[in-house]
Amino acid sequence: MMVLTMGCRVNQFESALLEEGGSARGYRLAHTGEQAELVVINTCSVTGESDRQARQLIRKAGRDHPGARIVVTGCYAQNAPEQAAALPGVDLVLGNGEKGQLWEWLDQLPGADGEHGHIRVGDVNDLTRVPERGLVDRFGERARAFLQVQDGCDRSCSYCVIPRLRGPSRSVLPERVVEQARRFLDAGYRELVVTGINLGAYGRDLPGDPSLATLARQLLEISTGWRLRISSLDPLDIDAGLVALLADCERICPHLHLSIQSGDDDVRRRMGRGRGRDAVLERIARVRTARPDLVLGADFIVGFPGESAAAFERSLELTTEAELALLHVFPYSVRSDTLAASWSQTLQVPGETIRARAARLRQAGLNQLEQVLRTRVGGREELLVESLESGRAVGKSAGFLPMRLVDAGREEWRGALVPVEVQGVDLQDHCLLATCRWQ
């Protein structure tokens, strides 16, 4: 079998669950270039471009694996099931609510249905909790493992369809999260990444209203010798508990990736992002005071309808003011069935302008990254080894800064935390250069 994954970290965790379920039923993961009997495609639908890429991937799977059963699931399947089912070679389309029962649905799959695959897609708004699916022992060949703790979203951003495709916010019970974390740690992973669709909403639907910070402290009590990273977060969800966690828990990675989207108050209001830039900067100031070595990344949407030149400049200014070093910049594209798509054409920003602004914002992020990298020279870090390149270890620091060892690398270091001393910066590759401190 083969599982192909698009999109977010939640999708990647869920794909690991599908692989684990397949192994339990006697399937073996196909090697690169090998013909698979079953191909599961876990799709994304965050943008119109994601939909196009999903269709492209499905068609390619049909060409590369003729005769294989093809199952399409994930957000594109939820959003356009009829369209997915009509693609050549597709046997079964499962929504996000049905994804966890893939094997049961596959067992019930009847024979060929003409030119269309069978559709099993329910209403995600009926979902009231994250199902207690099986636990995962391995997370593919990755150095770090993603730990899903939450699904769905209760927000109503004007550009986004994900709440409609994932359903309301639902949290995984803390004891279940801890049990999954133990599995990963027993398998040898030395970095776990807590992730969700709207991570800051964790616990609001659970008895006792446990917070994300409370859950993180429970996880850190399992054992020592590993580190915990918090995934993407709305800056307005940074509360006192999270600030305290960053201040007094060194094993929490000094890195946050923030869903900011715009630095302009009017654009943020029309996006449905809540409070304005001053509130964002205030939350950032809190966590920087708590953890001075914090590295911040951020998501931005460029060219949102009505974004003026002055509004874009405020996003640029926020990048510098907040020292945002790791940027994900998304050029706005019209997403059907959203409020933003219905606005007058007079509000649409020309494509050429969007591309130019995106390039400027990415360069501003690289400028900030270079400054952050330079501040690390001479210091000591801990490298999570992701791979070996030309015999030298490559990976990320606790602050998620790219790093390469200049003097060493061993095969057994993959996935290990290696103590290093930073010697310099490679500005072409935007990474730290370090030497190993192991004797």
State residue 438's pLDDT score: 80
pLDDT category, 234, cuts 50, 70, 90?
Answer: very high
State residue 112's pLDDT score: 47
Taking only the tens place, the pLDDT of each residue in 294-325 is 999 999 999 999 999 999 999 999 999 999 99
Q: Which two tokens stand for residue 165?
A: 């495709």
State residue 90's pLDDT score: 94
Q: In the sheet where 295-302 sits, what is the strand order?
A: 255-261, 295-302, 324-331
Q: Is 145-375 assigned to CATH 3.40.120.10?
A: no
Q: What is the Cα–Cα distance from 315 to 311, expressed in whole angstroms?
A: 7
On average, the pLDDT of the chain sits at: 92
Looking at per-residue pLDDT, the higher value among 60 and 115 belongs to 60
Q: Give the pLDDT mean for 386-415.
A: 92
Nearest to 279 by CA among 231, 329, 239: 239
Query: Which region among 63-67, 365-369, 372-376 has the lowest average model confidence (pLDDT)?
Result: 63-67
State residue 115's pLDDT score: 61
- 131 pLDDT above the threshold of 70: no
Long-range contact list for 170-176, CB < 8 A, 24+ apart? 170/127, 170/128, 170/129, 170/130, 170/205, 171/130, 171/201, 171/202, 171/203, 171/204, 171/205, 171/206, 172/130, 172/148, 173/132, 173/206, 174/206, 174/210, 174/214, 174/215, 174/218, 176/132
- 7 pLDDT above the threshold of 80: yes
Fold of 2-122: Rossmann fold (3.40.50)
Distant-in-sequence, close-in-space partners of 5: CB < 8 Å, separation ≥ 6: 11, 12, 15, 42
Measured CA to CA in angstroms, residue 379 lies from 359, 374, 419 at distances of 32, 10, 11
CATH of 380-436, one of 3.30.70.1150, 3.40.50.720, 2.40.50.140, 3.30.470.20: 2.40.50.140
State residue 111's pLDDT score: 57
In the chain, what percentage of residues exceed pLDDT 90? Answer: 77
Taking only the tens place, the pLDDT of each residue in 162-220 is 999 999 999 999 999 999 999 999 999 999 999 999 999 999 999 999 999 999 999 99
pLDDT category, 439, cuts 50, 70, 90?
Answer: low
Reported pTM = 0.91
Q: Give the pLDDT mean for 394-411.
A: 93
Domain limits of the chain? 2-122, 145-375, 380-436
Cβ-in-10-Å burial (0-12, 13-18, 19+) of 177 comes to buried
DSSP string of 287-336, one letter each residue? HHHH-TT-EEEEEEEES-TT--HHHHHHHHHHHHHTTEEEEEEEE----T
Taking only the tens place, the pLDDT of each residue in 51-62 is 999 999 999 999
pLDDT category, 49, cuts 50, 70, 90?
Answer: confident
Q: What is the Cα–Cα distance from 23 to 26, expressed in whole angstroms?
A: 5
